Structures are given as C-alpha cells and as structure tokens.
Amino acid sequence: MKKLVLSLSMVFAAFSLNAQTVEELKKDLGEKKSEIKKLQGEAKSLKSKIDALPGWKYGAFGTIGANFSGFNNWYTNAIANSSAGNIGVTVNGFANLTESKYFWRNSGVLNLGWVKLDNTKITTDSADFNATTDVFTITSLFGYKVSEKLAMSALGEYRTAVLNNFNKPGYLDIGVGATWTPIKELVVVVHPLNYNFIFGGNNGAGFEYTSSLGAKIVADYNKNFGKVKFRSNLSAFQSYKSSDLSNFTWVNSLGFNIWKGIGVGLEGGLRGNKQESFNYYNKTNPTNIIDPDNLGTIKTTVQTYWLAGVTYGF
C-alpha cells in the first residue's frame, strides 16, 4: 500500500511539474510573440520614414510563364505528333526621385510572349517560336509641387512593340497639366494639353494613323500587402479632333512572394484603340479595303492579354 501511495505521489508530482512547465513555456511564447509584433511595427514605421526621405528610389519585379509539351502517336490529339510551347515574360520597373519641391517619376513595362505548335510529321511546318504578346512602354513624369498633394507637371510617354514592328506604329504623348497624389500609393495625372504623336503608321493601302491634340489621363497605383505586390496602371488619351483617334491601355499586375523574392504572379491587360482595329481590319481584308475617311465604320475591339507564372522581385 505504501508503495502504491508513493508511486501515485510521484506521478502526480511529475504531472504537476510538467503542467507547470507547459504553462511557463506558453507564457514565454506569448511574450516573445508580443515582442516580435512590436519589433515588426517599429521596423514598418522605420521603413515608412526611409521611403519618405528625399532621393532616388528604385524597384522592379517580373513574371515568367512557360509550358512545353511533346506528343508522338497520341491519337486523341488533333495533331497526334506535335511539339508545342508557350513562353511569356513581363518586367515592371521604376526609378523615382522625390525632393521637397519637385519629383521625377520614371517607369517602364515590357511584356513579351512566344508560342509554337509544330507538327513533327510535316517537314514544311514551322518549328520556330512566333511572337504573340509584344508590349513596351516607358514613362517619365516631372512635377513641381504647389502643395503636398498637388503639382504642376509635364509628362512624356512612349509605347510600341519591340519584336516585329518596332515603331510601326510608335506612340509618343507629350503634355502638361497637373498631378494629384491623394495617397502615397496612387498618382493621378491629368494633362488637358497633350499631343499624341504616332510614328511609322502611314503604310499606304489605307493603313493610316493620325496624330492629334487631346487630353492625357494616367492613374498609377502601387501597393504592397505583406508578401503581395499589386500594380494597376491606366493610360488614356482623349482626342479633341475625334473620338476615333482616342485610345486607352489598362494593365494590372499581381505578385505573391514565397521565398527570397521568388513567387507566383498574374498579369492582365486591356486596350482600346480604333486606329489599331482599323489597321488590323484592312490587313486581314485586302479585298475590301476601307478608306481612312471611314474610320468610324470600324468597331473598336477591346484587346486583352493575360499571363500567369513564376515571379521574381528585385
């Protein structure tokens, strides 16, 4: 009986000691978590102060998407013997200078895509990758501050393709007006005096682009949500000569960091440009060419693209 009581006492003591140890460890863990949370808050505050300091700020992130496949006597496919591939690359970068009285914001976007579908049983079939998505845009905005959130500004923006039709056409917007920065992450540019130059667009046979005077509106939003990076950029031109000469491009990029800058991302873009729709129609309907004076008869087709893949942030 004494042995039983002694054994039970030892078990109870061990249980009590273990319970006390677990509670102490949980308490220590809670205290450490509170300290970490406090330090994270202080680090975030310091980063905000650093970001607000005058001087240059640089950054970039991009997305790479790719898939490849090969089939040999795979009869359920439309092409039983084939080699296929799809590659897409996007890069978003910026270099911004902020001073007490002025700012200079520069950004660039490059989006390239290639695709191939090779029937391996046909020797005349192309085995090359062909360019699909082809977008290049570079923007420079200078502003002189009249208040904390409002500035008088000048903007230059150039956009074109780079793989097959560089500067055919190329768009150059130059204008002046105002820039509004309601919050740190959002920049809104409104330039009522802007000229939209179009280069290399007059190719004969009705393939014609027209430069014009109008208003330029740009809205750029950049935000980091922890490990998530988001950017939305809208660039629109409203021609004073004719709405048929207006255009817009809206691109949204999302990147999720998983490990040391490497993650997954998604990018999508929309574009509306009646002159490009008109040009494409005449190229694909050579027996029914429409005169440039009848540009308004062409329906504006909204152009779209999207890319999903691996991202890397610099």
Among 269, 139, 305, 295, smallest CA distance to 216 is for 139
Q: Please list, in sequence order, all residues whose beta carbon lies within 8 angstroms of the beta carbon of residue 255, skipping any fewer than 6 positions away.
A: 61, 63, 228, 229, 230, 263, 264, 265, 311, 313
Average pLDDT over the chain, rounded to whole? 81
- 177 and 257: one domain? yes
- 104 and 32: one domain? no
**Separation CA 241–CA 260 (nearest Å):** 50
Range of the domain at 80: 55-313
Please answer whether residues 269 and 251 qualify as being in contact, where contact means their C-beta atoms are separated by less than 8 angstroms: yes
> Averaged over 168-196, what is the pLDDT?
93
> Averaged over 50-66, what is the pLDDT?
76
- 263 and 137: one domain? yes
- 138 and 278: one domain? yes
- 49 and 189: one domain? no
Q: Please list, in sequence order, all residues whose beta carbon lies within 8 angstroms of the beta carbon of residue 2, skipping any fewer than 6 positions away.
A: none
Which of helix, strand or coil describes residue 176? strand
Q: Angle 252-85-137 (CA atoms, 0-180°, nearest 5)?
A: 30
| Phi, psi torsion values for 281, nearest 5 degrees | -60, -45
Percentage of residues of the chain with pLDDT beyond 90? 27
Query: How many residues make up the chain in this entry?
Result: 314
- 138 and 282: one domain? yes
- 164 and 293: one domain? yes
> Averaged over 189-205, what is the pLDDT?
81
Domain's final residue, options 16, 35, 53: 53
- 27 and 160: one domain? no
Q: What is the pLDDT of residue 205?
A: 46
**Separation CA 138–CA 118 (nearest Å):** 35
- 86 and 190: one domain? yes
Task: pLDDT band for 224, please (50, 70, 90 cuts).
Answer: confident
Domain's final residue, options 36, 53, 70: 53
Q: Whose structure tokens read 């002189």?
A: 144
User: Looking at the predicted structure, is the pLDDT value of residue 152 above 70?
Assistant: yes
Among 217, 157, 219, smallest CA distance to 188 is for 219
- 12 and 127: one domain? no
Q: What is the pLDDT of residue 226?
A: 81
- 38 and 80: one domain? no
Phi-psi region of 55 (alpha: psi -120 to 50; beta: other; left: phi over 0): left
Bridge-based pairing of strands 55-71 and 186-199 is unpaired
- 59 and 47: one domain? no
Please answer whether residues 58 and 305 qualify as being in contact, where contact means their C-beta atoms are separated by less than 8 angstroms: no
The domain that holds 176 is classified in CATH as 2.40.230
**Separation CA 57–CA 225 (nearest Å):** 19
Q: Which is more confidently placed, 116 or 151?
A: 151
User: Looking at the predicted structure, is the pLDDT value of residue 185 above 60?
Assistant: yes
Largest distance between two CA atoms of the chain = 112
Q: What is the pLDDT of residues 226-235, one digit of tens each?
A: 888 888 999 9
Q: Domain total for the chain?
A: 2
Q: How many other C-beta atoms lie within 10 A of the C-beta of residue 231?
A: 21
Phi-psi region of 201 (alpha: psi -120 to 50; beta: other; left: phi over 0): alpha
Which amino acid appears at position 309 of this protein? G
- Cis amide bond preceding 54, omega within 30: no
Range of weakest confidence among 164-173, 195-204, 225-234: 195-204
For the record, the structure tokens of 12 come out as: 């109870």
Domain's final residue, options 29, 53, 77: 53
On whether the pTM is more than 0.85, the answer is: no
Q: Whose structure tokens read 């591939």?
A: 85
